[in-house]
Structure 1
């Protein structure tokens, strides 16, 4: 082979080798470079409680220092109450107990209690020339549900009547002689005993008889009106 041709071939070979080396370097630069990730504490899923950060400033800043921790407040074991501390088997007993106390206070303030008569009471004989009379009655104390039965000459006129603070009653025709009017205490209400004020007036509204009673249960108060 001609020496000149050989030199030319060698030159071309060197150029090709150099070119291939350059392309290899460029291609290697295009490959993705993997960077190992560093573990970040803020990204952790740790469920441990967060520690509050310290204040930026400490010490006294014109009277505004680091806030102090609020001391824990211990609640009292028992709540304050105006009532006596009592224990009951059920709430209903508390209600009944207070109701009894209230009832007793009413009895004391009204002068009531065990003063009701245990025997029948007679309110006397009263005379009139009137043909008719009106029999009136009312509760002179508390309207506490007192009940009475009223009869005239053994005939029941009011079988079960509730006493109020206002007078109520009925008109009757008198027979010649003695007319027996009876008031029977059916109960004593919640403020013992059964208390009432009765009045008997004639046709001209003149007072024939008037009195008060305080009776126990099943005790009678009787008044006689004699027609002349």
Structure 2
């Protein structure tokens, strides 16, 4: 009987201990990683990322990537090529040389008589050109005060004109219409008979509105040799 009582007491004690053990509360302390103190400490240990927004108004940042401020050390081919010449400058130099070689003399401002010549030809050929650097000189040809050729642009290449002669005096005048890019109006001319023989050749230097004149006398009367042949 005593043994049974002892067993019951021990069983009661063991059962009470298990119930108390089940009622025991465990308090776990968990740290919040998002608290301010913790985040401050953790941020110092993490690497920071440097970046710029395209909306940031940072002048230095914009200048760094701007093509406008990208200075290149390469030079233009025009700067490297020192032998390059502008055609316009060459033309200007030639015109200045012409002006230097042909100053405007007082004789260029008055009409010029270039001689009188006789021929039995029925017509003559007039050949004229600019004997200096062509700069746009223009002339007019008059025959016995009547316009024969209204306007001729004098160039480096010769131009030919044929004129039927009247019996007697044929006054041929060359009127300078301008002085081109630089004065004076310069021209060279030759006159041939109907057989290709040279009658006369000359040059003129005229200012605008001035005339150069020759006289060709057409005489179709037979010569002494022709009378003997008849």
Q: TM-score, normalised by structure 2?
A: 0.65
C-alpha distance in 2 between matches for 1:199 and 1:226: 16
Q: 1:151 aligns with which of 139, 142, 145?
A: 142
Contact 1:142 1:191 survives alignment (8 Å):
no
- Aligned positions of 1:81-120 closer than 5 A: 103-108=95-100, 111-115=101-105, 117-120=108-111
Greater helix share, 1 or 2?
Answer: 2
Give the number of aligned pairs. 174
C-alpha distance in 2 between matches for 1:129 and 1:185: 29
- Aligned positions of 1:62-141 closer than 5 A: 103-108=95-100, 111-115=101-105, 117-141=108-132
- Aligned positions of 1:152-171 closer than 5 A: 152-171=143-162
C-alpha distance in 2 between matches for 1:211 and 1:102: 23
SS in structure 2 at match of 1:39: helix
Aligned position for 1:179 = 170
Question: Does residue 1:43 correspond to 2:48, yes or no?
Answer: yes
C-alpha distance in 1 between matches for 2:183 and 2:213: 20
Q: 2:205 aligns with which of 207, 214, 220?
A: 214
Q: 2:20 aligns with which of 14, 17, 31?
A: 17
Q: TM-score, normalised by structure 1?
A: 0.65
Relative to 1, partners in 2 of residues 1:215 and 1:155: Cα closer, same or farther, differing over 3 Å?
same
Contact 2:118 2:217 survives alignment (8 Å):
yes
C-alpha distance in 2 between matches for 1:210 and 1:101: 29
C-alpha distance in 2 between matches for 1:227 and 1:206: 15
Cα deviation, residue 179, structure 1:
0.2
Unaligned stretches of 5+ residues in structure 1: 50-79, 81-97
Relative to 1, partners in 2 of residues 1:17 and 1:193: Cα closer, same or farther, differing over 3 Å?
same
Cα deviation, residue 3, structure 1:
5.6
SS in structure 2 at match of 1:113: coil
C-alpha distance in 1 between matches for 2:178 and 2:205: 11
SS in structure 1 at match of 2:110: coil
How large is the Cα RMSD of the aligned pairs?
3.3
Cα deviation, residue 43, structure 1:
1.6
Contact 1:113 1:191 survives alignment (8 Å):
no
Contact 1:112 1:191 survives alignment (8 Å):
no
C-alpha distance in 2 between matches for 1:203 and 1:46: 96
